[in-house]
Structure 1
Amino acid sequence: MQRVAVVGSGGAGKTTFCRELGRRTGLPVIHLDHHYWRPHWTPTPTDQWRKTVAELAAGDRWIMDGNYRSSLDLRLERADAVIILAFSRWRCLVGLLRRWWTNRGRAVQADGCPERLDWKFLRWVWRYPIDSRPLLDAALVRYADTVRVVELASPAVARSFLRELPA
């Protein structure tokens, strides 16, 4: 694994997982939130976003943390592995609430974007298995010959996966 895309619902713990995966593999971690969000939660325009992701994905070695459907194809074209944190929606909501409580008022997702919690995001997390996961699965079918897919069904399985990697 030299180019790894890590995806999953908000609140699944992608950032924490990627940080540990990067520590164990020596691969640089790219947090897509830091590149997508501008101050005050302003999104990067789609054409510029796709250009940014294409440049990031052109690297030889990386772990990319994030979903962003509009640029998934660019990451999958270059990835040799995709790790899906396929945790229950309840687990993701708990993770989201924990993150919000721990980081409230601090800009940890991206510069100038203090941690927030709103109904739109909660709804997206709740509906991820219905709305977003089928689109991810359809995209992965197109890259089945070139991308290894690892699906981790719970935090315990994710921890076990990381423990089995050489430190």
Structure 2
Amino acid sequence: MNKIAVIGSGGSGKSTFSRKLGSILNLPVYHLDTLYWNPGWIETPKDKWESVVRELADNDQWIIDGNYRSTMDIRLNSADTIIFLNMSTLLCTYRIVKRRFIFKGKKRPDMTEGCEEKLDLEFVKWVLKFNKNERPKILEKLKNYEDKKIIVLNNLREVDELLKNLKEN
């Protein structure tokens, strides 16, 4: 496990999980949200974004968390391990609302300076529809990567179990 792609819905715990995993495995962690968003919530242009992700994926060791469908194949092709945090809609929705209140007027740790936490309607809709619309596409896509180690974690107990097992080994 040297190149790990962590994917899942907003609020699934990708960033927190990746930080913990990086600490256990002593791997550098890259949060795509930090790289994609510029101060003031300005998106990185598509051509530059792809080159940023390609450059990261070419490194020998990493944990990269985030979905960003436009560059997902770049990451999944380069990864030796893919971890899908397949959490419930209820948990993800609760977490995005909770972090809005925790980080109100501030940036969260895995976000770019100048991007204060916000909760816009489009993002909420995306999280609410993720398991219906996006999860089937991701599960189908993962079939193309059977040569990789694929780990699907379906609840917090499975997340904790994996981290505990890795820590002990």
TM-score range, shorter chain: over 0.9
Task: Say whether residues 1:51 and 2:51 are aligned partners.
Answer: yes
Task: Say whether residues 1:81 and 2:97 are aligned partners.
Answer: no
Distance 1:132 1:46 in 2: 21
Question: 1:29: Cα distance to partner?
Answer: 0.4
Structure 1 residues 145-164: aligned runs within 5 Å: 145=147, 147-164=148-165
Number of residue pairs aligned between Structure 1 and Structure 2: 166
Structure 1 residues 65-76: aligned runs within 5 Å: 65-76=65-76
TM-score (norm 1): 0.95
Question: 1:137: Cα distance to partner?
Answer: 2.1
Secondary structure of the 1:141 match is: helix
Question: 1:135: Cα distance to partner?
Answer: 2.4
**Partner residue, 1:139:** 141
Question: 1:132: Cα distance to partner?
Answer: 1.6
Superimposed CA distance per residue, residues 21-62 of structure 1 (whole angstroms, 9 cap, x where no aligned partner) = 011000110111111001111111111111100001100000
Structure 1 residues 1-167: aligned runs within 5 Å: 1-108=1-108, 109-145=111-147, 147-166=148-167
Letter in 1 for 2:93: L
Question: 1:131: Cα distance to partner?
Answer: 2.0
The answer for unaligned runs of 5 or more in structure 2 is: none
Alpha-carbon RMSD across the aligned residues, in angstroms, is: 1.1
Letter in 1 for 2:20: E
TM-score (norm 2): 0.94
Question: 1:130: Cα distance to partner?
Answer: 2.0
Distance 1:13 1:98 in 2: 12
Distance 1:162 1:54 in 2: 27
Question: 1:105: Cα distance to partner?
Answer: 0.9
The answer for unaligned runs of 5 or more in structure 1 is: none
Structure 1 ranges of 4+ moved more than 2 A: none
Question: 1:134: Cα distance to partner?
Answer: 2.3
Superimposed CA distance per residue, residues 93-149 of structure 1 (whole angstroms, 9 cap, x where no aligned partner) = 01111111111111222221100011111100011112222222232222212x111
